[in-house]
Structure 1
């Protein structure tokens, strides 16, 4: 009898349709709300993405998962409320929870890492007690859903039974099979498993989903490609990302025209197809990448545009950009809409602490100007050693995005707010962009990280100093001295920084918007969330 290995995960939901993802232990038929699909096979693993259509707008429908006609979800004697699909079109406020950087699950993180409570796990526990009217409309996970380069003791024991950990890549994951273990480790947390079955979830990768500093520079890529283990690693990373994360980001209409999805579903074993796809996706030719991971979701008059800021980078042939020109053209096209709010999902913050921004911009300038010389090599070592890889270290892309957001915010029917939602940097803050010619839209950087990790003390000091006026005065003079191209506008920090395990909730009603930050703490009855701050972005 077939059984669930992972899932169900409720992924894309709109006014009349939804998708539900599962992994099973053998081939079978998967049925949800009368919609049935066969599993597809990849390298010994079996998956299904059930497309459910014909739902009513503004409806709430509990669902079960049946494998070959036998109910497998919800589990017998489940203590949680029923998993359900709530479609859009309700006309109420849109509530979007977001965060990033979740290191494994609490049960396997290891006693040697005394991490604060897991914010996603704690949120799920509270949500199960709350009335359904308090549940959010969507969850956005902005990277590092798994840590391929920082494995837990639990994962290392699994790896030790597969291969010699004294040989590269040592205790990091090596291939697709080992990636499947990472997802199994992270997504079988009972509270989080129920949460993901109930709240529509969108995702995008960041570096630790593959490896720290992934695609920092062309030199970094060359260093990785020179090893005898990297190719298998990057293929496994992108194959597993497509299966476990990317498929669920797509709407049914997109899936219907996706040739790869159709081919993998029809194949006896989709591994060769996905392996070739992964090689193509990682490759860089003529200033473009082989695939586009960026995607769009609409929540009524709210548009979410999620940008791939890792795999899509262009780094070769003396050209450096966060995404290719073709992909940036696509991004610009998606911003042209009559909407109340535009959300840009970027795993990496666009606006950072001023001093840190200046240092990264200076570093890119030095790497480029002195490429091939001693100063350039030293600057490259600094770039890799200090993780100088954010939008500020891709100056042309940083300024192009700034111009785009200003143009959208100055259009005839501009949105009330434009918010860049990010994670990565293991702290939370709210910053507002201030242009010389102010657009009509309010433009913000909303950063929330981590969900389940930690921030070393020296990094807390660095981030606090980075926002200080004294540090800004020094680095501003430094960048002028070296003639680093200026940003062309200013930004101010409105709230933060906060250094906790945390989640943010963005609430959008009409043309009003606010963001609430909640952090974890240990109370008398165990882990709980408490409000750290709330910022009104616009009152409409």
Structure 2
């Protein structure tokens, strides 16, 4: 067996299941299979292999689901792929082959259902990797920050539960003015290059990774500047997104035979980690820009989000939105929640009227990182926070955001009940960075680190 050409990528993990994405390579006169085997860390005996047949329609990739795991348990696994010229082979018959597995070991840890246990997460967005004629240009620049994240993951206490990548994991439009990529194979090549760099590959093989798209997975400020000819671009970009980002997330259902569904109903999803729950919104592909019903989330998603906010018993509720919920940016603010004030106010009023506590919005997009707090002039019990982490790697052609980039000298919104007032709770980080969140019984500690892992700033959000 050979090492995966992309992956393994450790995706959604529960108390008893884990999803692993991996890719092989096409051989025109042979069948291609990918496989995984696993064992409890420290034991000698391996499980039977779990195999998937790969085909070109999915760019020789698939997601393998490991089921029946023990909760709160450390495992190690191996992953690989191989060709066979015996066209009669199936995922069952290849168990009998004398396979030699790749020697590299990867780790995964299942979730714990216990409440009150401290947990940690990484958050990042906007990873720029320029491609020229299909080849990454200076790829080490877009990959080096992941070496620091991996090193921190190996040493972190409490252990890191997951990495949240909140948008712009690739830039389909990185050369938009000169030679925009629009064809399916061009976009797939960007994913293969971006996700196979050594440091990000090592991180995603050992830390559960959750992703959601933003505009650059399709086109800058999508769909504001959409043209009729962009329908093909959207189809190609979103199909590639499904393969490489959404397929290993909870957005794809597991069928009765253990395989992943090929037809997701939507790209937003939820996952649970003890008494902490995450709702990862799709704030990009379901937008309605019409004047009479302007929405950044479609009706079904807004209803699901509000119902989750009201009914979930989670102690901490984390809402991921690829674009900023607040504060508003002075330039291109209408591409984020500022451009959809009616829907934003409905969400805020839902949180306030139901007296919900410990609601945190997590986002990226703006090429600057910050924490901020929202209060209400007439309701002292209302408090909402935002955590912004961006970028993992900026383009040299684009500036980093600064404090002066945001509207901070006026209320976020007013209505008959009063004013929603905003304030920064730390400095604006104006360089490449990532966030390390530690959530315990009393607070969320937000630690921003630079490319080398050096601590830039630490801010505490007190839980109520």
* C-alpha distance in 1 between matches for 2:276 and 2:168: 25
Residue 257 to residue 294, structure 1, CA distance change in 2 (3 Å): farther
Alignment: residue pair count: 430
* C-alpha distance in 2 between matches for 1:44 and 1:114: 27
1:28-67 matches, cutoff 5 A: 28-33=33-38, 34-43=48-57, 45-67=59-81
CA contact under 8 A between 2:279 and 2:318: conserved in structure 1? yes
- Correspondence for 2:366: 425
- Correspondence for 1:295: 269
Q: CA deviation at 1:323?
A: 1.3
1:179 aligns with 2:187: yes
- Which residue of the other structure, out of 335, 338, 352, is the alignment partner of 2:327? 352
Q: CA deviation at 1:50?
A: 0.9
* C-alpha distance in 2 between matches for 1:439 and 1:54: 47
1:136 aligns with 2:160: yes
TM-score (norm: length of structure 2): 0.83
* C-alpha distance in 2 between matches for 1:302 and 1:23: 32
Q: CA deviation at 1:175?
A: 2.1
Q: Deviations over 1:493-530 (max 9, x none)?
A: 1112111111111111234322111123xxxxxxx221
- Correspondence for 1:494: 425
TM-score (norm: length of structure 1): 0.72
Q: Which runs of 5+ in 2 are unaligned?
A: 27-31, 39-47, 83-96
- Correspondence for 2:237: 237
Residue 514 to residue 407, structure 1, CA distance change in 2 (3 Å): farther
* C-alpha distance in 2 between matches for 1:42 and 1:486: 57
1:331-346 matches, cutoff 5 A: 331-335=305-309, 336-346=311-321
* C-alpha distance in 2 between matches for 1:142 and 1:179: 19
Q: CA deviation at 1:206?
A: 0.5
- Correspondence for 1:267: none
Residue 459 to residue 94, structure 1, CA distance change in 2 (3 Å): closer
Q: CA deviation at 1:5?
A: 1.4
Residue 44 to residue 119, structure 1, CA distance change in 2 (3 Å): closer
Q: CA deviation at 1:121?
A: 3.6
Residue 316 to residue 199, structure 1, CA distance change in 2 (3 Å): same
Q: CA deviation at 1:536?
A: 1.3
- Correspondence for 1:4: 4
Residue 405 to residue 454, structure 1, CA distance change in 2 (3 Å): farther
Q: CA deviation at 1:393?
A: 0.8
Q: CA deviation at 1:251?
A: 7.3
CA contact under 8 A between 2:130 and 2:174: conserved in structure 1? no
CA contact under 8 A between 1:28 and 1:38: conserved in structure 2? yes
Higher helix proportion: 1
CA contact under 8 A between 1:99 and 1:450: conserved in structure 2? yes
Q: CA deviation at 1:430?
A: 0.7
* C-alpha distance in 2 between matches for 1:48 and 1:538: 41
Q: Deviations over 1:231-275 (max 9, x none)?
A: 2211111111111111111178x322799954x5xxxxxxxxx8x
Q: Which moved more, 1:390-399 or 1:434-443?
A: 434-443
